[in-house]
């Protein structure tokens, strides 16, 4: 405990990675193959792969939130590993569907699952992971202890369910629905004539914030934490989610291909309405100073182009976002959300060593630029 963020994450990943591999074995062959590819455990032929499943940050936060209540790493894993795997599966299922919805062909420097296995099979693999996530809440991490595929499994194992399992399942379902509501709002924005910044922030609070709020508190739920600690950690996670999304949007615009996993300029080329862009466009609507308004109009004109954008136009759009104040606003807002997250942590009655771990992880997630 109390180590730097990389150590904290690696320690949690060492628990999460094998548990995720194990739980995927419960899927039917067709869904399992796609899930294993998507999580980087296998290549498209099903052979073992070292592509890696990402930082598993939601699972890491879930384990830390249990440790915040119990003060002991081993007891936290015992109480909350199924919940941590569950929240990570919700995130992974949302990525499978998101890539179809956004027509994104790459994920973590590899072809997106739907480009390999087709849209029908990938929609179903996402559906399977969503259901498996709820089963995880009940501690069903491997085939031997769970309903499995024989019989109807209606009563299997119910008696061994931990007492907090229902609350964990409910929290996962509530967070999933808010996440989906955010994604649905995001899709509806694509057809909207104008997207206001407050609507866009509400969308991000649902799309990214709800799942991180759940991640940062679901381990505490599993560990039987008090409502004060659970609600405090959820509020902490929501602020982390907003800061994380703002930083992600900034990197999406000004990051390298290495950092984003996609070609430089692709967010502009796809006319993505990310937060810095919406903030910049609003400068034209809100009657900011003349220079900012001029930049906002220039940005709007580039976004309205029907044709593919040239490199010069992409660079012009980036300069316009900056000139209209979108970049500075996003940087300030990310810092404010990070500060709000840390202020909540500061006051929560949790174990100090875990508080330090959570601070380290927060700073790593939310202060990635500059």
Q: What is the DSSP string of 89-158?
A: HHHHHHHHHHHHHTT--EETTEE-HHHHH-HHHHHHHHHHHHHHHHHHHTT--SGGGS--SSS--SSTTG
Closest CB to a second copy among 105 and 310?
105
Q: Cα 242 to chain center, whole Å?
A: 10
Residue 28 contacts a second copy per CB under 8 A: yes
Q: Which of 174, 285, 286, 301 binds a second copy (CB under 8 A)?
A: 174
Residue 27 contacts a second copy per CB under 8 A: yes
In the complex, least distance from residue 219 CB atom to a second copy, rounded to whole angstroms: 11
Residues 6+ apart with CB under 8 A from 307: none
Structural tokens at position 307: 């044709």
Interface size with a second copy, residues (CB under 8 A):
67
Residue 104 contacts a second copy per CB under 8 A: no
Structural tokens at position 19: 């548990």
Sites for a second copy among residues 218-237 (CB under 8 A) = 218, 221, 227, 230-231, 234-235, 237
b/e per residue 11-21 (b: at least 16 CB within 10 A): bbbebbbebbe
Q: Is the C-alpha dihedral spanning 277, 280, 286, 287 positive or negative?
A: negative
Query: What DSSP state is assigned to residue 42?
Result: B
In the complex, least distance from residue 169 CB atom to a second copy, rounded to whole angstroms: 5
**Nearest Cα to Cα of residue 54 among 244, 355, 261:** 261
C-alpha to C-alpha distance for 295 and 316, rounded to whole angstroms: 10
Q: Which of 6, 188, 270, 310 binds a second copy (CB under 8 A)?
A: 188
Query: What DSSP state is assigned to residue 307?
Result: S
Q: Which of 85, 169, 197, 246 binds a second copy (CB under 8 A)?
A: 169
Q: Which of 57, 79, 89, 128 binds a second copy (CB under 8 A)?
A: 128
Residue 346 contacts a second copy per CB under 8 A: no
In the complex, least distance from residue 226 CB atom to a second copy, rounded to whole angstroms: 9
Residue 210 contacts a second copy per CB under 8 A: yes
Closest CB to a second copy among 169 and 283?
169
Residues lying near a second copy in the complex (CB under 8 A)? 27-28, 30-31, 97, 100-102, 119-121, 123-128, 130-132, 134-135, 137-138, 147, 149, 151-155, 158, 161, 165-167, 169-178, 180-181, 183-185, 187-188, 206, 210, 213-214, 217-218, 221, 227, 230-231, 234-235, 237-238
């Amino acid at each position: 405990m109390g180590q730097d963020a990389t150590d904290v994450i690696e320690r949690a990943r060492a628990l999460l990675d094998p548990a995720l591999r194990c739980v995927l074995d419960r899927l039917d062959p067709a869904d399992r193959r796609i899930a294993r590819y998507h999580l980087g455990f296998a290549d498209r032929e099903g052979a073992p792969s070292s592509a890696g499943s990402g930082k598993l940050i939601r699972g890491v936060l879930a384990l830390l939130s249990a440790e915040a209540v119990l003060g002991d790493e081993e007891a936290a894993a015992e109480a909350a590993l199924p919940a941590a795997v569950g929240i990570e599966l919700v995130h992974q299922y949302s990525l499978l569907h998101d890539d179809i919805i956004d027509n994104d062909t790459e994920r973590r420097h590899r072809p997106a699952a739907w480009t390999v296995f087709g849209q029908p099979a990938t929609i179903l693999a996402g559906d399977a992971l969503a259901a498996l996530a709820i089963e995880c809440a009940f501690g069903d991490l491997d085939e031997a202890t769970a309903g499995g595929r024989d019989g109807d499994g209606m009563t299997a194992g119910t008696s061994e369910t931990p007492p907090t399992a229902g609350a964990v399942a409910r929290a996962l379902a509530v967070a999933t629905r808010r996440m989906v509501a955010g994604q649905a709002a995001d899709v509806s924005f694509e057809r909207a004539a104008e997207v206001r910044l407050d609507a866009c922030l509400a969308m991000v609070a649902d799309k990214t914030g709800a799942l991180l709020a759940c991640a940062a508190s679901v381990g505490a739920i599993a560990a039987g934490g008090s409502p004060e600690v659970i609600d405090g950690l959820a509020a902490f996670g929501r602020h982390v989610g907003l800061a994380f999304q703002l930083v992600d949007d900034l990197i999406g615009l000004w990051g390298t291909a290495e950092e984003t996993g996609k070609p430089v300029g692709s967010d502009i080329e796809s006319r993505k309405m990310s937060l810095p862009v919406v903030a910049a466009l609003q400068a034209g609507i809100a009657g900011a100073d003349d220079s900012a308004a001029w930049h906002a109009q220039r940005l709007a004109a580039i976004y309205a182009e029907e044709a593919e954008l040239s490199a010069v136009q992409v660079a012009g759009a980036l300069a316009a976002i900056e000139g209209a104040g979108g970049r500075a606003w996003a940087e300030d807002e990310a810092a404010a959300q990070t500060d709000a997250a840390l202020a909540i942590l500061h006051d929560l009655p949790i174990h100090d060593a875990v508080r330090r771990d959570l601070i380290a992880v927060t700073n790593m997630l939310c202060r990635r630029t500059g």
